[in-house]
């Protein structure tokens, strides 16, 4: 209906005529929008485990497909999905090739004492269903500035995203050189060893060096840790090449120090998200005089419960059956953001908070610790 003033405007009839002339837009916009979401960013997927490959005694690869066999959402090599299990969730890098849309492989290594990794390796068998998020994360090659000559420092199961990146290069015929320096504890602990060695032998743009910390008598290759001098010996001068780092938490500060020693600029290093800090109290800004093993009361969604000060709030909430949305569990993705209504919460260095979060009392519960009794709006 036209506004009462419309007829007073010069040209109003021409505009009205244009409206009247227009063919009706009959598209189903709601369906089209839902299709974009389902194709690229489904909130949840229920996937069927079709194969389980035992890689090493401690590690298994789970192959996931859609129950109806259709394509999975596209991902960039290096990205992860979050798996929901046993009342909580964990993120795992996709190790398969992005060229293969019909399945994702997740390579899971047992974490000593780890709840979900052991649960998955022990109990998940072909035919089971796993609930996941869509692919997420920024740990992937970005052609706008990463360059076509890159280095990857992997430790242990941290090789999973590197595997996907290598498969991406080969399957898509990318003009990119990739040098993997892969540290493992012992020679029988190396994941994908045969496949990596075969690929490196066949493709000049893929180089793989295994570095073994506790070598047996059989091992003739490099040993020890990924030290600055070893990195330089194996990879040559880094010359601003992008360096990816993924592995156990201890690798991160270590690799950073080694790369700094080589004069490598921090902005040419990419660290994969890696969970909450093993010991948040070791970070220098942990509040003084706060005993980590003492308990406080947390109140959320009408429940009050006791929890240790050094337990991430997200885990404490999940223990009570309160499950905020969550994905990276490393402080990055912000999905588990909660409001602190009362009390003091400590955010670990990993927390990538927004500037306004601090002002208005929001935190990322996956890397936040209750210092006093707290009340949360979840």
Partner 1 sequence: MRTMTDVDAVVIGAGNAGLTAAATLQRAGLRTLLVERHNVPGGCATSFRRGRYEFEVALHQLSGVGLEGQGFTLRGLFNKLGVSDRIDFVQEEDLYRAVVPGQHDVTLPADWAGAADALEEAFPGNRDRIERFFKLLRNVAFWQIAAMRGLPGDDINPVLFRQGLRPLGDVLDEHFDDPGIKSVLAAYWVYLGQPPSRLAFQDLAVTLFAYLEFKPWHVRGGSQAMSTAILDSFLDAGGEVRFNTAVTGIRTERGRAVGVRLDDGEEVSAREVVSNASLPVTYGMLDASAVPHRIRTDLATRRVGVSGFILHMGLDATPAELGFTTSTTFVNADTDDERTYAAYHTLEPARGICLSSYDVAPIGFAPSGTTHVGLMTLQYSDLWEKLSPAEYAKAKFAYAETLLDRAEAVVPGIRDAIEEVDVATPLTMARYLGHPGGAIYGYDQDRTENWLFRDSLRDPGVPGLHLAGSWAGFGGFQPTLEAGHRVARNLLHAQPA
CB 255: neighbour CB atoms within 10 A?
27
Q: Would you count residue 24 as binding partner 1 (CB under 8 A)?
A: yes
Q: Rounded to an integer, what distance in angstroms lies between the CA atom of residue 194 and that of residue 198?
A: 6
Candidate ranges 3-11, 102-110, 288-296, 312-320; the one touching partner 1 (CB under 8 A): 3-11
Distance CA 245, CA 162 (A): 9
- Interatomic CA distance for residues 358 and 344, integer angstroms: 12
Q: Which is nearer to partner 1, 31 or 125 (CB)?
A: 31
User: Does 25 help bind partner 1 (rule: CB under 8 A)?
Assistant: yes
Sheet harboring 59-65: ordered strands across? Answer: 88-93, 80-85, 129-132, 45-56, 59-65, 104-109
131 binds partner 1 (CB under 8 A): no
User: Token digits for 204?
Assistant: 């000049």
In the complex, least distance from residue 109 CB atom to partner 1, rounded to whole angstroms: 27
Is residue 129 close enough to count as binding partner 1 by CB under 8 A?
no
Residue from 125, 144, 282, 288 binding partner 1 (CB under 8 A)? 144
Query: Residue 106 or residue 336: which is nearer to partner 1 going by CB?
Result: 336
The whole-angstrom separation of Cα 46 and Cα 341 is 35
Give yes or no for residue 73 binding partner 1 (CB under 8 A). Answer: yes
Among 16, 46, 123, 304, binds partner 1 (CB under 8 A): 16
Q: Does 321 bind partner 1 (CB under 8 A)?
A: no
Smallest gap from residue 265 Cβ to partner 1 (A): 8
- Residue 153 to residue 150: CA distance in whole angstroms: 10
By CB under 8 A, residue 26 contacts partner 1: yes
Stretch that binds partner 1, among 24-32, 58-66, 292-300, 313-321 (CB under 8 A): 24-32
Q: Which two three-digit tokens encode residue 273?
A: 């998200």
DSSP state of 367: G
CB-based contact 122:62 (threshold 8 Å): no
Query: Least distance to partner 1 from the beta carbon of 356, Å?
Result: 4
Residue ranges in contact with partner 1 by CB under 8 A:
1-6, 8-12, 15-16, 18-20, 22, 24-26, 28-30, 32-33, 36-37, 39-41, 71, 73-74, 76, 99, 101, 138, 142-145, 267, 325, 332, 334-335, 337, 339, 352-357, 359-360, 362, 377
């Amino acid at each position: 209906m036209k506004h009462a003033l419309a007829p007073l405007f010069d040209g109003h009839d021409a505009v009205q005529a244009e409206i009247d002339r227009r063919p009706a837009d009959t598209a189903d916009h709601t369906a089209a929008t839902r299709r974009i979401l389902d194709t690229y960013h489904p909130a949840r997927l229920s996937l069927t485990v079709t194969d389980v490959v035992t890689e090493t005694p401690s590690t298994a690869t789970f192959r996931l497909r859609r129950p109806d066999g259709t394509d999975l959402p596209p991902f960039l090599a290096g990205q992860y999905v979050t798996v929901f299990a046993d009342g909580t969730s964990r993120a795992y890098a996709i190790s398969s090739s992005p060229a293969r849309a019909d399945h994702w492989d997740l390579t899971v290594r047992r974490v000593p004492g780890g709840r979900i990794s052991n649960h998955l390796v022990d109990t998940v068998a072909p035919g089971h269903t796993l609930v996941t998020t869509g692919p997420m994360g920024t740990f992937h090659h970005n052609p706008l500035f990463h360059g076509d000559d890159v280095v990857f420092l992997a430790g242990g199961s941290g090789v999973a995203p590197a595997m996907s990146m290598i498969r991406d290069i080969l399957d898509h015929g990318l003009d990119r050189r990739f040098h993997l320096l892969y540290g493992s504890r012992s020679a029988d602990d190396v994941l994908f060893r045969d496949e990596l060695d075969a690929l490196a032998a066949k493709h000049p743009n893929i180089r793989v060096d295994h570095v073994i910390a506790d070598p047996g008598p059989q091992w003739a290759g490099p040993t020890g840790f990924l030290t600055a001098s070893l990195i330089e010996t194996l990879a040559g001068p880094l010359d601003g090449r992008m360096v990816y780092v993924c592995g156990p938490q201890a690798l991160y500060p270590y690799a950073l120090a080694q790369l700094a020693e080589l004069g490598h600029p921090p902005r040419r290093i990419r660290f994969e998200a890696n969970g909450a800090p093993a010991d948040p109290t070791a970070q220098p800004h942990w509040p003084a005089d706060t005993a980590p093993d003492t308990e406080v009361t947390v109140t959320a969604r009408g429940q009050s419960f006791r929890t240790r000060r050094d337990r991430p709030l997200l885990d404490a909430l999940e223990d009570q059956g309160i499950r905020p949305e969550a994905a990276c569990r490393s402080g990055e993705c912000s999905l588990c953001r909660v409001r602190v209504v009362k009390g003091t919460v400590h955010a670990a260095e990993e927390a990538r908070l927004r500037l306004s979060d601090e002002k208005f009392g929001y935190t990322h519960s996956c890397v936040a610790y209750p210092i006093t009794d707290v009340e949360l709006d979840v």
